[in-house]
Amino acid sequence: MVYSFPEEVLEYVFAFLSSDKDRNAVSLVCKSWYEIERWCRRRVFIGNCYAVSPQIMIRRFPEVRAVKIKGKPHFADFNLVPERWGAYVYPWISAMARSYPWLEEIKLKRMVVTDESLELISKSFKNFKVLSLSSCEGFTTDGLSSIAANCRNLRELDLRESEVEDLSGHWLSHFPDNFTSLVSLNMSCLGSEVSFSALERLISRCPNLKTLWLNRAVPVEKLASLLRRAPQLVEFGTGACSTEIRTDIFSNLVEAFSGCKHLKSLSGFWDVVPAYLPAMYSVCSRITKLNLSYATVQSPDLVELISQCSNLKCLWVLDYIEDAGLKALSSYCKDLQELRVFPSDPYSAEPNVSLTEQGLVTVSAGCPKLQSVLYFCRQMSNAALIAIARNRPNLIRFRLCIIEPQAPDYLTLEPLDTGFGAIVEHCKELRRLSLSGLLTDRVFEYIGTHAKKLEMLSLAFAGDSDLGLHHVLSGCESLRKLEIRDCPFGDRALLANAAKLETMRSLWMSSCSVSYGACKLLGQKMPNLNVEVIDERGPPDSRPESISVEKLYVYRTVAGPRADKPDFVWTMDEDGALRFS
Amino acid sequence: MSPPLLDVEGGGRGNAPLMSSSASGDCISQSGSGLKECNFLGLSDCSSVDSSAVSNVCGENKNNLNFKATELRLGLPGSRSPERDSDFSLLSSGKLDEKQLFPLLPSKDGICSLMQKSIVSGNKRGFSDTMDGFSEIKSSVFTEGKWMFNANGSDSGTPQSVVEAKLAGNAGINVILTNNSSGAQPSMKKEVPTRAPKEGQNKMNGSNNNSSAPAAKAQVVGWPPIRSFRKNTLATTSKNNEEVDGKPGPGALFIKVSMDGAPYLRKVDLRMYSTYQELSSALEKMFMCFTIRKCGSQETPDREMLGENKFKDLLHGSDYVLTFEDKDGDWMLVGDVPWGMFIESCKRLKIMKGSDAIGLAPRTMEKSKNQN
């Protein structure tokens, strides 16, 4: 009988469960399993910092060692969320400082982190090991100094893509001389120069360093010296490589790279002078991830490099690669799983490179393991999308951005409904989809019908009516995140599918046609949702209720309306009355 | 082309908003049908009597849910049962046949034809409850009229989505259709591509992240969806490449702008401007609110009396100067170097009090005083 197992045995068994889904399921079996599980849960993931409060988390899981929290909605990446919207981490840190003295890991994404928070982290958790701030903001290099100075057991410091106020590079020198535990350092987002000798000494004394992503300020002539001190590196990101090429720099680099027998991932390459690329040829055959998205290098040089990376699994590159380069990619890199092509000149009306839909079609045909795509281009056709869908039914993520909003099939001038329809129909495991181009309600009908595993959908300038939104909300069973901008979706589909919103993490709608009245209604009827209206024109009450709100962010929560709203955010309350924070 | 639909502050009712070119003439003539007591949500916890048909649906019967749940049903905010609503004249007209409230089922050929008769929108009910001042609204019957979609992919040539929205309702009400077909937002400063003419809605609810200055080139906020760090990276690396003739440098360059005494910062894209004057005007507009409040607390509380001129005086006079932090970390007065050089070296901007900026460049201070 299961119930006669001693707790310790159950705890031991539960320790093998790493997935949150499994642990949540286990908690539901019976009260005693709930109790046992909650005492032994060590990792907590909070997908929306406002869905739950720190107190609730701490009350349920008293022995947590690792926390991952996400804050702002994804569209904040594109400046659609006004400054001061929220997602402050300090309340979490201060609560955890009191209750989780043994906390080891904090990973944050799109949150506002202050120097005060960083200092509190550095002083509150004696065994602190991992700090990852992805796309965060609000702190300066002074905060980093606190971390460097006080976290004696720090293993990872990852600042990827965060906005840091760069007061000076001196923070790195705060790592004490007896600090040797560093395994991973990502400072690629920082602007100022750090003391190079401090960096060298740090690297020399940390024998377990596996990941090092330098910032732009580290010049190419210094790379060799660093690599020689850390030949065990697995992931390496260069700084700017723009110094005019010199034989000695080049040959040093060649030698240094050849000593790195474990390198699997390369990044950086800002302003890289193409002549430097061959220095890396010796490691290419082992490389599985290559981020060339800052390298403004033309296609032939890119192809030279890529053609040697037969084990490449993940490539991020600018559209300088062009169709020709993608063709080469598809023939050399048969293990490719993820491809991201970014635009080099997104704002010009005319294409500056010869990159079309054909490049993507070729890769989809030639790379059988391709499952994740992010592709910026200027033209697309239904035929191409259908071909991609038929070639790659194993796609999991498909994000296509046709740069011109509402661009139709360039061959037939039709909407791209059938093309995207083919994608969702063939790619049955599709979890993430971003649409672009000219799209009618019909594409949403296809999505609602076929995209049963879809978890995240991003829409812009698409659809004709509420029917489109209705198809998505009523058909996509696995939908967790829906973000919409500039689509003619309004009250009816939203209100008719209000219950669906409780099954999702969040819904974002900006520049759509949702009226203030509907928002209020939604807020009243759905107490488990926070219905937040973001409107910088002033209180929505000062306008007729039929007026559409600027932005709407709806998310499920057990924490009630949030108390830290700025003056341009209103939570639609059960009382129907406006409440300011 | 109908005029842009202006957002109405303070409930102005003058403008009849138009969703498409053919709307206005017809809309008033269509007689509104009565409002029906409705529940939007189709949830079983709904207390509305009429929703009894809907209330059984909790997701078990998918077809029914789609049908019922998409009916327009009107739940009065704050009301518990429909019987209370006998006070409201809105209910006086008869109830519509449920089948007519059937807007969202596609017809056989895939075209969604909305109801042939007018249908009910729930939005306006909210007025009665919360907007006591709007007496005409209480008696209004707001309905959304017939919509027809020609979003047929089999058309040769350019597909069109033409929404003819026929509105009924009191002229006094500022009506904005919630289901217009346009995806354009006013911050989209270029025209919606004519390939897909979606007429209508140009509401002024564009994002305020955009500066309000005239754009050097038309750009939509946040489109294409590229992260700022990437944009800034491209902006600076592209300097090394050849510049296309006659074009400003590609890429956007977002930098932070702070102002002494303002509670929060703003961001501007320096590539949107080509002269100092443009930047200055944009910043004035952005930060006007702070300065006016400052003035208001001291002198005239009446906001309208402070025109732009007064603000300009404030900015160009002894009160504020514009400074920037360059790549070396030094704070400099804006305006000394050619524009192109400025945007390449500018890391952030700050609107400082004149008194704080004295140490920077006396000559320029003189210049700004003389502009008064």
Mean pLDDT check: name the lowest of A207-216, A403-412, B129-138, B275-284.
B129-138
- Give the pLDDT of residue A61: 97
What are the pLDDT digits (tens) for B307-344? Answer: 444 444 545 555 778 889 888 888 888 888 888 888 88
For residue A228, give Cα distances in angstroms to A200, A268, A273: 10, 18, 22
d(C-alpha B358, C-alpha B323), whole Å = 11
Contact B348, B325 (CB under 8 A): yes
- At B286, is the secondary structure helix, strand, or coil? helix
Task: Report residue A93 as tokens.
Answer: 């840190």
pLDDT beyond 60 at B182: no
Helix A115-124 vs helix A90-99: angle between axes, to the nearest 10 degrees?
10
State the DSSP code for A240. Answer: B
Band (B218; pLDDT cuts 50, 70, 90): low
Contact A581, A566 (CB under 8 A): yes
- Give the pLDDT of residue A152: 95
Give me the residue from B157, B180, B192 closest to A488, CB to CB: B180
Give me the residue from B130, B151, B240 closest to A464, CB to CB: B151
Q: What mean pLDDT is predicted for residues A434-451?
A: 97
Average pLDDT, chain A: 94
AA letter at B17 = P
Q: What mean pLDDT is predicted for residues A468-486?
A: 97
pLDDT beyond 90 at B240: no
Other beta carbons within 10 Å of A7: 13
Contact A164, A189 (CB under 8 A): yes
- Of B111, B159, B162, nearest in space to A413 by CA: B159
pLDDT beyond 60 at B72: no
pLDDT beyond 90 at B130: no
Band (A230; pLDDT cuts 50, 70, 90): very high
Average pLDDT, chain B: 51
Band (B348; pLDDT cuts 50, 70, 90): confident
Give me the residue from B77, B176, B224 closest to A548, CB to CB: B176
The answer to whether B159 contacts A408, with C-beta atoms less than 8 Å apart, is yes
- Give the pLDDT of residue A14: 93
Let me know if A285 is exposed, middle or buried by CB neighbors in 10 A (0-12, 13-18, 19+). Answer: exposed
Q: Which residue has the higher pLDDT, B368 or A498?
A: A498
Angle at A20 between CA A16 and CA A21, to 5 degrees: 105
**Minimal Cα–Cα distance from A35 to chain B, Å?**
32
Residue of A80, A374, A446, A511 to mutate when probing chain B, most B C-beta within 10 A: A511
Band (B292; pLDDT cuts 50, 70, 90): low
The answer to whether A497 contacts B220, with C-beta atoms less than 8 Å apart, is no
pLDDT beyond 80 at B215: no
Residues of B in contact with A513 (CB under 8 A): 176-180, 201
Contact A125, A105 (CB under 8 A): no
Q: What mean pLDDT is predicted for residues B134-153?
A: 36
- At A272, is the secondary structure helix, strand, or coil? coil
Q: What mean pLDDT is predicted for residues A30-39?
A: 94
Residue A99's Cβ-side half-sphere holds a number of Cα atoms within 13 Å equal to 19
Contact A110, A68 (CB under 8 A): no
Residues of B in contact with A514 (CB under 8 A): 178
- At A138, is the secondary structure helix, strand, or coil? strand
What are residue A342's DSSP bridge partners?
A318
The answer to whether B241 contacts A445, with C-beta atoms less than 8 Å apart, is no
- Give the pLDDT of residue A362: 97
- Of B332, B338, B214, B227, nearest in space to B281 by CA: B214
Residues of A in contact with B124 (CB under 8 A): 517, 545-546
Q: Which residue has the higher pLDDT, A560 or B372?
A: A560
In B88-198, where do the E strands start and end? 119-120, 143-144, 167-168
Based on its alpha-carbon atoms, the radius of gyration of chain B, rounded to whole angstroms, reads: 27
- Give the pLDDT of residue A334: 97
- Give the pLDDT of residue A53: 97
For residue A276, give Cα distances in angstroms to A136, A241, A294, A309, A366: 32, 8, 14, 16, 29
pLDDT over 90, % of chain A: 92
Band (A6; pLDDT cuts 50, 70, 90): confident
- Of B106, B128, B148, B166, nearest in space to B35 by CA: B128
Query: Which residue from A minimizes the CA distance to B267?
Result: A83
For residue A139, give Cα distances in angstroms to A165, A361, B268: 6, 43, 20
d(C-alpha A297, C-alpha A315), whole Å = 15
- Give the pLDDT of residue A479: 98
pTM for this prediction = 0.68
Band (B360; pLDDT cuts 50, 70, 90): low
- Give the pLDDT of residue B204: 36
The answer to whether A488 contacts B158, with C-beta atoms less than 8 Å apart, is no
Give me the residue from A486, A490, A538 closest to B179, CB to CB: A490
The answer to whether A513 contacts B177, with C-beta atoms less than 8 Å apart, is yes
The answer to whether A189 contacts B178, with C-beta atoms less than 8 Å apart, is no
Give me the residue from A406, A524, A544 closest to B196, CB to CB: A406
Output the 3-class SS for A276-300: HHHHHHHHHCCCCEEEECCCCCCHH
- Give the pLDDT of residue B32: 39
| All residues at 6 or more sequence positions from B243 whose CB lies less than 8 Å from its CB, including other chains | B249
For residue A483, give Cα distances in angstroms to A277, A527, A531: 39, 21, 14
**Minimal Cα–Cα distance from B251 to chain A, Å?**
6
- At B332, is the secondary structure helix, strand, or coil? strand
Give me the residue from B78, B157, B234 closest to A524, CB to CB: B78
Q: What mean pLDDT is predicted for residues A26-39?
A: 94
pLDDT beyond 80 at B269: yes
Q: What mean pLDDT is predicted for residues A119-132?
A: 97
The answer to whether A545 contacts B198, with C-beta atoms less than 8 Å apart, is no
| All residues at 6 or more sequence positions from A37 whose CB lies less than 8 Å from its CB, including other chains | A14, A23, A26, A27
pLDDT beyond 70 at B67: no
Q: What mean pLDDT is predicted for residues A558-570?
A: 94
Look-up of token digits 């997908």: A47
Give me the residue from B123, B241, B254 closest to A517, CB to CB: B123
Q: What mean pLDDT is predicted for residues A202-229?
A: 95
Band (A3; pLDDT cuts 50, 70, 90): low
Dihedral in degrees, nearest 10, Cα atoms A46, A47, A52, A53 = 60
| All residues at 6 or more sequence positions from B98 whose CB lies less than 8 Å from its CB, including other chains | B53, B71
Q: What secondary structure does DSSP assign to A533-555, as a single string?
A: EE-TTS-GGGS-TTSBPSEEEEE
- Of A410, A411, A323, A416, nearest in space to A361 by CA: A323
Residues of B in contact with A294 (CB under 8 A): 233, 237
Task: Report residue A437 as tokens.
Answer: 């181009």
**Minimal Cα–Cα distance from B29 to chain A, Å?**
21
The answer to whether B238 contacts A296, with C-beta atoms less than 8 Å apart, is yes
- Of B285, A284, A288, A13, nearest in space to A302 by CA: A284
For residue B242, give Cα distances in angstroms to A17, A251, A273, A275, B335: 56, 29, 15, 19, 26
Contact A512, A547 (CB under 8 A): no
What are the pLDDT digits (tens) for A75-117? Answer: 999 999 999 999 999 999 999 999 999 999 999 999 999 999 9
Give me the residue from B9, B182, B188 closest to A542, CB to CB: B9
Band (B141; pLDDT cuts 50, 70, 90): very low
In A343-455, where do the E strands start and end? 372-377, 397-402, 432-434
- Give the pLDDT of residue A358: 97
| All residues at 6 or more sequence positions from B155 whose CB lies less than 8 Å from its CB, including other chains | A414
pLDDT beyond 70 at B355: yes
Q: Which residue has the higher pLDDT, A142 or B159?
A: A142
Output the 3-class SS for A28-68: CCCHHHHHHHHHHCCEEEECCCCCCCHHHHHHHCCCCCEEE
What are the pLDDT digits (tens) for A398-442? Answer: 999 999 999 999 999 999 999 999 999 999 999 999 999 999 999
- Of B21, B6, B102, nearest in space to B54 by CA: B102
The answer to whether A535 contacts B205, with C-beta atoms less than 8 Å apart, is yes
ipTM: 0.90
- Give the pLDDT of residue B252: 65
The answer to whether B42 contacts A496, with C-beta atoms less than 8 Å apart, is yes
Query: Which residue from B minimizes the CA distance to A85?
Result: B264
Mean pLDDT check: name the lowest of A218-227, A347-356, B92-101.
B92-101
**Minimal Cα–Cα distance from B356 to chain A, Å?**
21
- Give the pLDDT of residue B238: 54
- At B102, is the secondary structure helix, strand, or coil? coil
In A105-166, where do the E strands start and end? 105-109, 130-134, 137-140, 156-158, 163-165
**Minimal Cα–Cα distance from B285 to chain A, Å?**
14
Query: Which residue from B minimizes the CA distance to A536?
Result: B208
pLDDT beyond 60 at B118: no
Let me know if A349 is exposed, middle or buried by CB neighbors in 10 A (0-12, 13-18, 19+). Answer: exposed
Contact A155, A181 (CB under 8 A): yes
The answer to whether B163 contacts A499, with C-beta atoms less than 8 Å apart, is no
Residues of A in contact with B183 (CB under 8 A): 405-406, 460-463, 486-488
- Give the pLDDT of residue B236: 63
Give me the residue from B158, B161, B229 closest to A413, CB to CB: B158
The answer to whether B134 contacts A465, with C-beta atoms less than 8 Å apart, is no
- Give the pLDDT of residue B341: 83
Pairing relation of β-strands B331-333 and A372-377?
Answer: unpaired
Distance of CA B45 to the CA centre of its chain: 34
Contact A283, A263 (CB under 8 A): yes
Residues of B in contact with A414 (CB under 8 A): 153, 155, 159
Q: What mean pLDDT is predicted for residues A241-254?
A: 90
**Minimal Cα–Cα distance from A77 to chain B, Å?**
6
- Give the pLDDT of residue A575: 57
Residues of A in contact with B131 (CB under 8 A): 544-545
